[in-house]
Structure 1
Amino acid sequence: MLKQLFLIFFAISIAHTATAQVTHRYKDHIFNDISVTKDLTYFVGAPKADKKSYLFDLYTPNVDTAKKRPLMIWMHGGGFKFGSKTSKGVKVWADDFAKRGYVCVSINYRLSKHNPLFNFDTLMKATFYATQDAKRAIAYFRNNAAKYGIDPDKIVLGGNSAGGMMALHAAYTKNNELGRMAHLSDQEIQRVGMPNQPIFAVINYWGAIFNLDWLSNAKTPIIAVHGSEDGLVPIRHKDAPLHGSLDIYDRAEKLKIPNTLKVYEGYSHELQKSFNPLFEGPHAKKRWLESAQFTADYLYSMMYPAKAKR
């Protein structure tokens, strides 16, 4: 009898261990080693003065034989005035998702020469031009899908703060809507406007959109994370025409746009307890990684709905 009980216990233990060791590509970390190729360009013909604005770093898992992998394009924050493709947040997420089997790129984009943080009209103009760069990046990677081993139908656009705003506006706005709101002439909008590109999903980390009505333009799934006490980009609309993640979630639900939102109660911008643009601290980074897992779980459920329900 004791021998039988031991064998049953042993079999259950082996089964539990085997189950615990099961990992899923795109949901879990399945690669340990990542290669980073720096300072590539997504706009070969860029004017000399803007060449640095179109550089990107490529993150790929080593020893990966898959040929058509989802691509994540990461865009940094910094109020359209500061930051780069090497900003801490986008490096963390690009590395994290590459370990899950994604191809990731962190891109530069044109920053404002003025002060978007203190002038709303300048902020709208900066958003317009940066959003065109996001669309250019998507077009580049769609046209070079085979070169980078990516699936052109699974391009995810993501970012934090200003980068989250870029992702939302690239997916949901028409050039004339955003350009006219920014008080640009029709000639200027036509001159620099890039065509809208298909996007598999948007990752909006503590960003916002200028006009909720623009959500009627598409059905692109939205994955959002935001701090409830964010004073820089409020989670809900306040004085300026800027609508945060909770506003977006409510409208997306009404429009039946697939979306999900994780709110960090009591936390501010960048998921810090008190926002400090110069030092995020180790605890904020922990929440950034939690946000990555939240995002990975939702994207996996989109790509493999049957498996996700098991």
Structure 2
Amino acid sequence: MKRIYSFFLMITGWFSATAQEGSERYKDTVFTSVDKLTVTYGSNTNYSGTQQNLEADIYAPAGDSVLQRPMIVYMHGGGFRAGRRFDTACVELCKKLARRGYVTASLDYRVGMADATTAEQSAAVIRAVQDLNAFIRYAKSTADSLHIDTAKIFISGSSAGGIAVLTKAYIKLDSTAAVFGIKNMNDLEGTTNELPFTSSVAGVFSMWGALYNIDWLQKNDIPVGCVHSRGDSTIPFVSGYNRQNRSLLLYGSKPITERADSLGIPTFLHAYDSYKHDLGLKVAPYKDTTAQLMADFFYRLLQPGVKDAPAPVNNPSAQAYVAPAITQRFSQQKQTR
């Protein structure tokens, strides 16, 4: 089936307001307003066999004069069955980060499955990863008009989106990948678009996400930051099964960051002392805490030679702590793209 995709390039005057002075770009809020652009980045067949055009909302600080900015790509949650790019939590988070100077993107990706079998669930995960890779290629193909630095593209997601970005970042060819139908890494690139660019990224930030195989994390993999609730009953903080499928074991943020630390991968973990899933995306004041933690994490990765971790956000009402078992290490690793 022929894939149709369109690329809406931005006009020169898309950015239009001024930055606040006296603040640290990429860490603090430095812009007062944000511009939004909706693009179609590809098209592919969804779980029901229907061709689906895929859109993304791109947010940028209004009036910005910087020509090469880091981009944060965000994938919504919804159990790979639901969710949209314009859900309130997605929009709020992307705008908070854009006001700090990042270009952000909230994606629609193919969701839905016929049932809760392992085959259907694993296929849904791979479709999400393929669409994410397609958007990254799209972003790189339009880097000049988006004013982004293609070596500084970061990925992030919550819940199902967290699973998708972690899978994209770390999946390796092994028996677990075979369960997902992955025989070679090109299977992950998909055909949502076929633009001649790589889908490499510089770092990943997961919120209430997990990995299907902790051994996918290997030395020299990209940095990983995580936010989770210790008592999360939807996606485990440590390990366990989700509600939809009892055959796919999930490894949560604690073992992910512990393994990353043991391998010398720059990592960060912030755990909310709560049982609530997606707490820091949907409940104030935790929403501000989560946005600040993500900004701090990527800010550190953007600074050459910085090895210290982001300081915990001073927000006592959030009842949050930084898990002491994790050595928060930011090494001076040069990423090649």
- Give the TM-score range, shorter chain: 0.7 to 0.9
User: 1:167 and 2:165 equivalent?
Assistant: yes
Q: Select which of 232, 245, 250 maps to 2:253.
A: 245
What amino acid sits opposite 1:303 in the alignment? L
| Offset of residue 179 of structure 1 | 4.8
Cα distance in 1 between the residues matched to 2:90 and 2:173:
26
Unaligned runs of 5+ in 2: 1-20, 242-247, 309-337
Q: How does 1:158-237 map to 2 (within 5 A)?
A: 158-174=156-172, 179-183=177-181, 189=187, 192=190, 197-216=199-218, 219-237=221-239
Instruction: Summarize the Cα distance change of 1:256–1:185 in structure 2 as closer, same or farther, 3 Å threshold.
Output: closer
Is 150-159 or 105-114 further displaced after alignment?
A: 105-114
1:154 is aligned to: 152
Deviation at 1:125, TM superposition (A): 1.6
Unaligned runs of 5+ in 1: 1-20, 273-279
The structure carrying a bigger helix percent of its residues is 1
Match 1:144 to one of 139, 142, 153: 142
**Could you say if the C-alpha distance between residues 263 and 202 of structure 1 is closer, same or farther in structure 2, counting changes exceeding 3 Å?**
same
Kindly state the Cα deviation for residue 109 of structure 1 after the two structures are TM-superposed: 0.5
Q: Distance in 2 between matches of 1:27 and 1:70?
A: 12
Deviations 1:261-304 (A, max 9, x none): 000012321117xxxxxxx86xx142122011011112112212
What residue number does 2:293 align with?
294
Would the alpha carbon gap of residues 260 and 32 (structure 1) be closer, same or farther in structure 2, given more than 3 Å must change?
Answer: same
Q: Identify the residue that residue 60 of structure 1 maps to in structure 2.
A: 60
Match of residue 128 from structure 1: 126
How far did residue 89 of structure 1 move?
2.1
What secondary structure does 1:81 align onto? Answer: coil
Give the superposed CA RMSD. 2.8
Separation (CA, whole Å) in 1 of partners of 2:174 and 2:162: 20
- What's the CA shift for 1:225? 0.2
* Partner-residue secondary structure (3-state), 1:235: coil
Query: Whose radius of gyration is greater, 1 or 2?
Result: 1
For normalisation by structure 1, the TM-score amounts to 0.80
- TM-score normalised to structure 2 length: 0.74
State the 1:213 CA deviation: 0.9
Residue 305 of structure 1: CA displacement? 4.7
The letter of the residue matching 2:286 is: R
Q: CA deviation at 1:112?
A: 2.2
Whether the 8 Å contact between 1:56 and 1:107 is mirrored in structure 2 is yes
* Alignment partner of 2:267 out of 245, 259, 265: 259
The AA in structure 2 aligned to 1:233 is: I
The verdict on how the C-alpha distance between 1:242 and 1:190 changes in structure 2, with shifts beyond 3 A counting, is closer
Q: Distance in 2 between matches of 1:151 and 1:191?
A: 21
Q: Distance in 2 between matches of 1:137 and 1:184?
A: 20
Match of 1:222, as an amino acid? V
The code of the aligned residue for 1:268 comes to K
The percent identity for this pair of structures is 30
Per-residue CA distance 1:121-146 (angstroms, 9 max, x = gap): 32222111111111111111112211
Q: Aligned with 1:57: secondary structure?
A: strand
How many Å separate the matches in 2 of 1:155 and 1:103?
9
Aligned-pair distance for 1:245? 0.4
- When residues 50 and 214 of structure 1 are mapped into structure 2, their CA distance, relative to the original with a 3 A threshold, is same
Conserved? CA contact 1:172–1:217, under 8 Å: no
Aligned residue pair count: 275
Partners in 2 of 1:180 and 1:307 — Cα distance? Answer: 38
**Rounded Cα–Cα distance in structure 1 between residues aligned with 2:57 and 2:76:** 12
The 10-residue stretch of structure 1 (215-224 or 200-209) with the greater mean CA deviation from structure 2: 215-224
Give yes or no for the alignment of 1:87 onto 2:84: no
- Partner letter of residue 137 of structure 1? F
